[in-house]
């Protein structure tokens, strides 16, 4: 995202537009969804994988739930930053592509993916994420999608004033800003919500896919025991 520029409908990674926010009102959309992701993860579990961990903000919260957490990212710079920011000893930082990375052979009780699914080919990505779960494990995704329908554009339109309101609220409390964006890989979403839902229906029977504010969708699936 370009600093000082609000997210665009149809361009969630932030092209220059007329919808601008002052730099002081920018805020971390990914962190906004941490509580939802954490609610999907069991209160106590053995192993969790965070795919596209970035600087490790979500991993540093997951370590309170799991005996072991793997944080995976394709960017060496992100892994270096995550490692430097984390003192927990039950974390393993891994650089690689989730499609072929050497991950725990016994699988995970939960897999989280925050703004990373759109960096993968959709069906191979969902198939791989599902394969990494133990029976009964949970896949929790917050992802980006390409708007196409009237409902998509209505939600995007509602996101603009909400975006400004949240930024103003956080700024008054000294919590605005996007301090961890530098060096983070960026890619525009190409799959529509319909395409994501169709792929989930095919690969993850029973998965719940929902449209969310702030140019995001959620996907939740529990692997059959």
Residues 125-140 pLDDT 10s? 999 999 999 999 999 9
DSSP category for residue 118: G
User: What's the predicted TM-score (pTM) here?
Assistant: 0.88
Q: What is the mean pLDDT of residues 162-166?
A: 92
109's tokens: 């009780």
Label residue 181 by pLDDT band (50, 70, 90).
low
Longest dimension (CA), the chain: 49
- Give the position of tokens 């000294």: 174
- Pairing state of beta strands 133-143 and 216-222? antiparallel
Q: Among positive and negative, which fits the CA dihedral 90, 96, 102, 106?
A: positive
């Amino acid at each position: 995202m370009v600093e000082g520029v609000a997210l665009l409908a149809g361009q969630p990674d932030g092209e220059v537009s007329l919808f601008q926010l002052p730099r002081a009102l920018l805020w971390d959309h990914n962190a906004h969804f941490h509580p939802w992701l954490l609610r999907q993860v069991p209160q106590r579990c053995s192993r969790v994988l965070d795919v596209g961990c970035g600087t490790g903000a979500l991993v540093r919260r997951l370590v309170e739930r799991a005996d072991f957490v793997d944080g995976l990212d394709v960017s060496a710079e992100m892994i270096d930053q995550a490692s430097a920011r984390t003192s927990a000893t039950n974390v393993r930082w891994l650089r690689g592509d989730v499609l072929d990375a050497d991950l725990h052979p016994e699988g995970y009780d939960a897999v989280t993916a925050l703004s990373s699914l759109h960096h993968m080919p959709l069906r191979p990505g969902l198939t791989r994420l599902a394969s990494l779960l133990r029976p009964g494990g949970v896949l929790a995704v917050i992802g980006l999608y390409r708007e196409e329908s009237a409902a998509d554009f209505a939600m995007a339109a509602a996101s603009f004033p909400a975006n400004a309101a949240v930024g103003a609220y956080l700024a008054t409390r000294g919590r605005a800003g996007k301090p961890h964006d530098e060096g983070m890989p960026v890619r525009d979403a190409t799959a529509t919500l319909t395409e994501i839902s169709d792929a989930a229906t095919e690969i993850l029977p029973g998965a719940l896919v929902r449209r969310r504010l702030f140019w995001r969708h959620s996907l939740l699936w529990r692997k059959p025991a």
